[in-house]
Amino acid sequence: MLITHDTRCALDTVVDLVNTAPDDDGTSDGLSDIASLEEFVRKHDMSDVGVLSAFDLAAVRRIRGRFAAIFSAPDSRSAAALINELVAAAGTTPRLTDHDGYDWHVHYFAPGASVADHLAADCGMALAFFVVAGEQERLRRCEAPDCRHAFVDLSRNRSRRYCDSRTCGNRLHVAAYRARRKEATG
């Protein structure tokens, strides 16, 4: 599957957005205030975003939950319905642009769109490409029992199981190794 630079950026953004949500174990909200939303926008180099407000923060939190549902969708039909709702509500307006040193690419949000509509349009379309390509199963949740972060499996054989193999994957492999060693030594 060919993934363009702008689609990859949108995928990274939506994964990070979903993963800002507080976990069931009491972790804090990664978008707890306007300053954290401003930092999120800066980190993801989002263009055409004006001054952010409490309204923007609430709207982004709402669509974050809708994106989370896409990563948990049981099938492509369910994922497509969720994506269609997000993209339609954002008032998608595709346009070609070249800015900030990037070659031609497509923005799906209208000029002057709110940050929530910007995210819903661009990130929603990035996820839509996966559904269209029959690759919805690549939109996953980490299999580590204490994690459940979202990620996009871009491995060649669709075998990625953990959001980060250095943390979640390694932690589970070490635990399994120690359990085998303990069982072997009695």
Indicate the pTM of the whole model: 0.86
**What is the pLDDT at residue 70?**
96
Residues 6+ apart with CB under 8 A from 92: 108, 109, 110, 121, 124, 125
> In the prediction, which pLDDT does 103 show?
82
Q: CA-to-CA distance for 18 and 82, rounded, in angstroms? A: 15
pLDDT tens-digit profile of 147-182?
889 999 999 888 888 888 677 866 666 666 666 777
**CA 151 – CA 138 distance, rounded (Å):** 8
Spans of the chain below 70 pLDDT:
1, 25, 165, 169-179, 186
- Decide: helix, strand or coil at residue 166: helix
Query: Which tens digits make up the pLDDT trace of 91-109?
Result: 888 888 887 777 888 888 8
CA distance 69 to 102: 31
